[in-house]
């Protein structure tokens, strides 16, 4: 089996062991998925939790989804996102990076985020209980969107420094 190159492709899946069995993820992705599988987020406060310092960390967040028009498309340069819905459901808008995308807010190095006016062309996918998406720098994404109407979500975003993917590729 060839190694999955997370650094080159968006991944959507279920967190269950049997659903990811046989997939050759990088060691950083394996650590992130193990953390998501083994942790009871319902008992944790919102905030940041270090897994490996600034190299891998989780952000636990509770919020109510919003209409898509109120959610801003974004991208990151230093970290990959593993967005995991522990409770609830939301849809995420997505498109591949293109130089034709219009920047709404330039890249902020401290926050590692740039915001865009809209996704072109736009695709959408649903993340429900136990599902995750790996979003990389060329994956422009609009999280937190309500499916039919606003609803509560418990989500964990694991941030993985891109250098970890490069280390595994060597």
- Residue by residue, DSSP assigns 77-106 as SSEEEEEEEEESEEEEEEEE--TTSPEEEE
What are the start-end ranges of the H helices in the chain?
A: 17-20, 27-38, 162-169
Q: How far apart are CA 23 and CA 147, in angstroms?
A: 30
Class of domain 6-169: mainly beta
For residue 138, what is the DSSP state?
Answer: T
Residues 29/134, Cβ–Cβ less than 8 Å? yes
Residues 3/27, Cβ–Cβ less than 8 Å? no
What's the pLDDT score for residue 53? Answer: 96
Domain definitions of the chain by residue range: 6-169
Q: How far apart are CA 34 and CA 28, in angstroms?
A: 10
What's the pLDDT score for residue 1? Answer: 31
Sequential pLDDT tens for the chain (170 residues): 334 444 446 888 888 765 565 566 788 998 999 999 999 999 999 999 999 999 999 999 999 999 999 999 999 999 999 999 999 999 999 999 999 999 999 999 999 999 999 999 999 999 999 999 999 999 999 999 999 999 999 999 999 999 998 766 55
Beta-carbon contacts of 156 under 8 Å, excluding residues fewer than 6 positions away, are 36, 39, 41, 58, 59, 60, 61, 83, 84, 86
């Amino acid at each position: 089996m060839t190694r999955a190159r997370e650094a080159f492709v968006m991944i959507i899946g279920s967190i269950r062991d049997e659903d990811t069995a046989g997939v050759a993820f990088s060691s950083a992705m394996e650590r992130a998925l193990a953390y998501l599988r083994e942790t009871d987020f319902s008992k944790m406060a919102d905030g940041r939790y270090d897994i490996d310092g600034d190299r891998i960390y989780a952000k636990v967040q509770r919020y109510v989804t919003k209409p898509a028009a109120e959610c801003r498309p974004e991208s990151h340069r230093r970290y990959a996102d593993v967005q995991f819905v522990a409770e609830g459901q939301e849809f995420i808008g997505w498109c591949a990076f293109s130089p034709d995308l219009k920047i709404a807010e330039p890249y902020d190095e401290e926050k590692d985020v740039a915001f865009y006016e809209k996704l072109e062309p736009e695709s959408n996918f649903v993340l429900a209980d136990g599902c995750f998406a790996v979003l990389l720098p060329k994956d422009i994404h609009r999280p937190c969107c309500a499916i039919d109407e606003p609803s509560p979500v418990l989500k964990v975003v694991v941030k993985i420094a891109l250098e970890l993917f490069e280390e595994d590729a060597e």
